[in-house]
């Protein structure tokens, strides 16, 4: 599958399906989080960037209240929905993402009438690269324009998050939608998740002869169930016991005292968040002072913290990270919510083939499913492309 989105292909697919041209084509990227994991819902800091894999939607408004939706993956069957009886409790499958956005906009007083929608995406789903946020952000960007809603990028972030929380049922933060909407070419986004203030941080990998490899372990995860929600609950418990609004308000200096107040497991969850927030701040500073070649130790320390304190890694992610490091990677870590998904490795560009081969071999030797490995670079955020 080609990584970059071809607007003409999406428009042509729309026309083939629905028999007329779309009003436009909008796309929004998936993301890699360079550092700052599970800090978003703790009102802390994150540093993601958009990747050159994206979801694109071709849309044409209709005169009635019917939505017809098709995606290029799956069975390509048209799903037809009466928007007058749209309920956030009855959505399922991939259409929950676009229809969830429409429902949230409706709750905000932005009425979206009938439409035909064709979705195509090059973001692998379940790989920890925010395939769902990419769909939400493409759809939110499209209807913001088509309905002249005038929402700011930060407001669109919250639309996507609400769709994820209230419709899909995953208690996620604002990392993914912020990366998809706020990114620009060549930069990472340094985001304060308490204030939604953000700053672009140049990430010039080419100049440093570096690249970032994504290793999709093919271990899939779902954040609507299981470990993700349990980690969030632990963090909320920690904040409550420590008497703070959110773990953002706890610093490394507070940790010795916190260890006496919290049970052992909750303490380790809290320690991950506290040290991870500091690592994000340090990474931004080091990038500014010395460039990407100097951030490796921070990335690798982040992985160790997620593996040992937050316990969201898995054997496949650990093997990808360890093998990349053994091959001379500058740094490596799992990225995204965890329990599967992808790892990233910051490597010398010249080592791409050697590192990739070593990881493929290590996975085969361990009896793991073959991973998908590809390079990514910071790409533009959501926009109209056709």
Q: Which residues of the chain form contacts with ligand GLA (CB under 6 A)?
A: 33, 37-38, 40-41, 172-173, 175-176, 223, 336-337
Q: How far apart are CA 347 and CA 355, in angstroms?
A: 8
Nearer to ligand GLA, 10 or 280 (CB): 280
Find the shortest distance in angstroms from Cβ 318 to ligand GLA: 17
Checking 251-260 for CB contacts under 8 A at 24+ apart, the result is 251/278, 252/278
User: Which CB sits closer to ligand GLA, 171 or 386?
Assistant: 171
What's the CA gap between 98 and 137, in Å, rounded? 9
Exposed, middle or buried, 160 (CB in 10 Å: 0-12/13-18/19+)?
Answer: buried
To the nearest whole angstrom, how small is the minimum distance from the Cβ of residue 168 to ligand GLA? 10
Q: Tell the smallest beta-carbon distance from residue 261 to ligand GLA (Å).
A: 25
Terminal alpha carbon distance of the chain:
20
Query: Is 216 an active-site residue?
Result: no
- From 40, 176, 216, 351, active-site residue: 176
CA distance 333 to 298: 9
Quote the DSSP letter at residue 40: G
Closer of 33 and 122 to ligand GLA (Cβ): 33
How far apart (Å, rounded) are the C-alpha atoms in residues 76 and 205?
Answer: 38
- Give the whole-angstrom CA distance, residue 129 versus residue 380: 15
**Residue closer to ligand GLA (CB basis): 204 or 236:** 236
Q: How far is the CB of 173 from ligand GLA (least distance, A)?
A: 4
Which CA distances in Å does 307 have to 42, 55, 73, 160, 303? 19, 30, 33, 29, 6
How would DSSP label each residue in 359-374?
HHHHHHHHTPPPPEEE
Nearer to ligand GLA, 149 or 274 (CB): 274
CB 38 within 8 A of CB 310: yes
Q: Which is nearer to ligand GLA, 337 or 371 (CB)?
A: 337
* Residue, CB closest to ligand GLA: 337
Distances (CA, A) of 87 to 63, 77, 96, 119, 172: 21, 21, 10, 21, 21
Q: How far is the CB of 327 from ligand GLA (least distance, A)?
A: 26
DSSP calls for 242-308: HT-SSGGG--GGGHHHHHHHS-HHHHHHHHHHHHHHHHHHHHHHHHHHH-GGG-HHHHHHHHHHHHH
- Kindly state the smallest distance separating residue 156's Cβ from ligand GLA, in Å: 15
Least separation in angstroms between CB 228 and ligand GLA = 7
For residue 381, report the phi and psi dihedrals to the nearest 5 degrees: -85, -165
Our CB check for ligand GLA shows the closer of 37 and 52 to be 37
Report the catalytic residues: 176
């Amino acid at each position: 599958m080609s990584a970059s989105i071809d607007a003409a292909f999406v428009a042509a697919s729309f026309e083939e399906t629905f028999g007329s041209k779309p009003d436009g084509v909008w796309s929004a990227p998936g993301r890699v989080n360079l550092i700052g994991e599970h800090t978003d819902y703790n009102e802390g800091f994150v540093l993601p960037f958009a990747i050159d894999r994206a979801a694109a939607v071709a849309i044409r408004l209709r005169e009635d209240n019917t939505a017809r939706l098709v995606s290029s993956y799956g069975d390509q069957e048209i799903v037809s929905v009466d928007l007058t009886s749209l309920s956030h409790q009855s959505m399922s499958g991939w259409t929950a993402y676009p229809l969830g956005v429409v429902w949230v906009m409706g709750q905000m007083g932005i009425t979206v009438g009938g439409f035909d929608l064709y979705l195509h995406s090059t973001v692998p789903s379940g790989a920890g690269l925010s395939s769902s946020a990419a769909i939400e952000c493409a759809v939110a960007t499209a209807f913001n324009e088509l309905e002249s809603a005038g929402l700011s990028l930060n407001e669109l972030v919250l639309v996507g998050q609400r769709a994820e929380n209230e419709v899909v049922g995953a208690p996620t933060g604002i990392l993914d939608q912020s990366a998809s909407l706020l990114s620009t070419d060549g930069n990472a986004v340094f985001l304060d998740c308490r204030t939604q203030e953000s700053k672009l941080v140049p990430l010039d990998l080419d100049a440093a002869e570096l690249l970032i490899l994504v290793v999709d372990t093919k271990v899939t995860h779902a954040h609507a169930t299981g470990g993700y929600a349990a980690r969030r609950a632990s963090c909320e418990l920690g904040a409550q016991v420590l008497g703070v609004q959110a773990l953002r308000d706890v610093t490394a200096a507070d940790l010795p005292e916190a260890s006496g107040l919290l049970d052992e497991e909750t303490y380790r969850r809290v320690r991950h968040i506290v040290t991870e927030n500091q690592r994000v701040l340090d990474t931004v500073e080091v990038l500014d002072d010395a460039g990407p070649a100097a951030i490796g130790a921070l990335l690798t320390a982040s992985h160790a913290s997620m593996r040992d304190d937050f316990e969201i890694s898995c054997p496949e992610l650990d093997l990808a990270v360890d093998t990349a490091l053994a091959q001379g990677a500058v740094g490596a870590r799992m990225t995204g919510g965890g329990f599967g998904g992808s790892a990233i490795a910051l490597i010398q560009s010249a080592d791409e083939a050697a590192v990739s081969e070593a990881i493929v071999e290590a996975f085969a030797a361990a009896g793991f499913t073959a991973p998908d490995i590809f390079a990514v670079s910071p790409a533009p955020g959501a926009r109209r492309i056709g």
